[in-house]
Amino acid sequence: LPMKGTVLLSIALDYGHYHACIARTLLVDASVEAKKAYTLLCEVHDQVLRNLIPGKPFKDVYLAAAILVSKKDEALQSKFSKNVGFGMGMEFEDPLLVINATNTRKLEAGMTVCLSVGFKSPGPGDQAWAVWIADTVELSENTDSCGVNMTAGSTSLPKDVVFWTGPEHDPGDAG
């Protein structure tokens, strides 16, 4: 492979008035920090998905994710994304439905959301990295259950997205 580090892949679709999004990260001979961040990112993604419940304020979903990041790895807190997704409606990204620390709007039953979480570490040359997972989620009509991940069929598990090109790594080691 000509590139080492993190490779971000994303697709956003618009079909009539329907929208979908998906993003995955491939880690190819990535740094220890990037692999560690990706493992935490998977936890954050799962937590955000569990918090996408009708009636919950957007800011509560974001703040729960930010607290998880700060508890698990304080050094990654400043690298965490400023939102964890957005509602999709007539527009792909509705600017009034961004799931961030200040939005007091509430999730609604039947809403479609792009759950999008990531970490970004700028740096010179090959020291920079980013990891990102995004999925299309439809919120349940049931106010007691979380949304359904419509793009869950595309794996984001570390064992499926971490690769090594050199002989010095155990191929069974995913992180």
pTM as predicted: 0.88
Least confident of 71-75, 91-95, 159-163: 91-95
Count of residues in the chain = 175
Least confident of 4-13, 104-113, 164-173: 164-173
Least confident of 16-20, 89-93, 122-126, 135-139: 89-93
Q: What is the pLDDT of residues 17-73, one digit of tens each?
A: 788 999 999 999 999 999 999 999 999 999 999 999 999 999 999 999 999 999 999
Asked if 61 contacts 102 with a C-beta cutoff of 8 angstroms, the reply is: no
Q: pLDDT category, 2, cuts 50, 70, 90?
A: low
